[in-house]
Amino acid sequence: MSKKSSETKQKILEAAKIAFSKKGYDGVSIDEIAQIANVRKSLIYYYFPSKEVLFEEVWVNSIDELENELFGSEEETENYYVKIKNFLRRYIDFLTSKKAISELIRREKTNVLDQDSWKNAKKRYENFLGKIEQMIIEGKKKKCVNDNVEPEVATEMIASVDSVPRKSLLKRVEQMLLKVLLKDNV
Amino acid sequence: MSKKSSETKQKILEAAKIAFSKKGYDGVSIDEIAQIANVRKSLIYYYFPSKEVLFEEVWVNSIDELENELFGSEEETENYYVKIKNFLRRYIDFLTSKKAISELIRREKTNVLDQDSWKNAKKRYENFLGKIEQMIIEGKKKKCVNDNVEPEVATEMIASVDSVPRKSLLKRVEQMLLKVLLKDNV
DNA sequence: GTAAAATTTGAACGAATGGTCAGTAAAAAA
DNA sequence: TTTTTTACTGACCATTCGTTCAAATTTTAC
């Protein structure tokens, strides 16, 4: 794939991301995306076989970006207090800075998990949730996370934070989550 | 309007409520709603001039039902500690029992507030939020709500609770909100 | 410079969508 | 019973939608 080609593809992906995040999958037409990206509609079909696949690629990229910011920096510490605290801080930073992706996830995550047609998107999102769950499980093994915390429930709790408006409230929720999750030796 | 007429209209509204809550406004067609309600498509247009108006009526009814459950029972007390505590308890009860309406609001509230076309729906929802805000303002006057709480922000916080999954987590969030909002003389 | 490959375009298609309307059936009024 | 009003139907329309494709243009390889 040449430079120009991947540039165009990127332009389409970016336009689709913005459109889907603002209006949702069903609220956006290929024409609309083409207009935003400033390309002809048929060109979109040169790069993507269908609207569904385009959405899935946008989704997977978005989760990649989120996951990278949350788990990417190779953590030196094995201290799960620090690990989980850092994780939540990074998550909240992401939610307040990367608005388009956050809004996209908030809007479509239910559909991604329910809908059978978006298999790749679903698999990618479940994999991401699985990493959070794994972190909680490890935290329990290391005696940092409360024994009464069910990892699956804790994961749902953490993921639901993406619907919280305003940074001030997010900070409160962060504190609440830390209190609920971690054993309280300071 | 005869009995049969209002029964049919109700059947359509109910079908639309379920469909919209599951798939969102853009994800649902009039044909689909007609199928669920077991009526012909054109009959829907006998009762509603457009899909938009149908949605707005579903929305307004839903907010009515919610508001009625939260503010309806004529409270005897003027104690705003009790009032706000009861309010939050009722809200959480509603979210866990009336799933369709809760999901509808969660799905579409952003669109209702943004979109200019759904004027009635927007006005109704803003009026509902206004009542919550008013309760906070009164609570401040009565020295029950913390001085540093901004009513508008508090309202957003409370409204965002509709995105919280699981009753166990909802109970936690309820406690957090009470802690943030109310002065802590037990 | 020319051939081959990759990229972009515009026109078109069938299906689905929101919406209309003339007409039929049923209920209420007379 | 007849008339008038109300409730319902089916056929149809215009538009938008996702999608296809042959042809044009641009880029790359030789």
ipTM rounded to 2 decimals: 0.90
The answer on pLDDT for B63 being more than 60 is yes
Give the mean pLDDT of B142-148: 93
The answer on pLDDT for B169 being more than 90 is no
CA distance B110 to chain A (A): 9
How far apart CA A34 and CA A44 sit, in angstroms, is 7
pLDDT of A184 reads: 81
How far apart CA B142 and CA B77 sit, in angstroms, is 13
- DSSP one-letter code for A73: S
Summarize pLDDT for A125-172 with one digit per residue, the tens.
999 999 999 999 999 999 999 998 899 988 998 999 999 888 988 998
Q: B42 falls in which pLDDT band (50, 70, 90)?
A: very high
pLDDT of A145 reads: 95
pLDDT of A103 reads: 97
Q: Which residue ranges in chain A fall short of pLDDT 70?
A: 1-5, 185-186
pLDDT of A76 reads: 77
pLDDT of A1 reads: 57
- Mutation target to probe the B interface, by most B beta carbons within 10 A, among A163, A167, A174 is A163
Q: Does A156 touch chain B (CB under 8 A)?
A: yes
Q: Which residue of A has its CA nearest to B29?
A: A26
Indicate the length of chain A as a whole number: 186
pLDDT of B103 reads: 97
How far apart CA A32 and CA A41 sit, in angstroms, is 9
The answer on pLDDT for B28 being more than 90 is yes
Comparing C-alpha atoms, which of A72, A105, A101, A104 is closest to residue A86? A72
C-alpha torsion sign, points B59, B64, B65, B69: positive
pLDDT of B185 reads: 56
Which residue type, as a one-letter code, is found at position A32?
E
How far apart CA A46 and CA B34 sit, in angstroms, is 37
DSSP E strands in A27-111: the ranges are: none
Q: B71 falls in which pLDDT band (50, 70, 90)?
A: very high
* Cβ-based contacts of B26 with chain A (< 8 Å): 23-24, 26-27
Residue pair A38/A16 in contact (Cβ under 8 Å)? The answer is no
C1' (C16) to CA (B120) span, angstroms? 28
pLDDT of A185 reads: 56
Considering only B16-25, B28-37, B121-130, B142-151, which range has the smallest mean pLDDT? B142-151
Interchain proximity A165–B156, CB inside 8 Å: yes
pLDDT of A120 reads: 96
* Cβ-based contacts of A169 with chain B (< 8 Å): 153, 156-157, 160
Interchain proximity B166–A173, CB inside 8 Å: no
Q: What is the pTM of this model?
A: 0.92
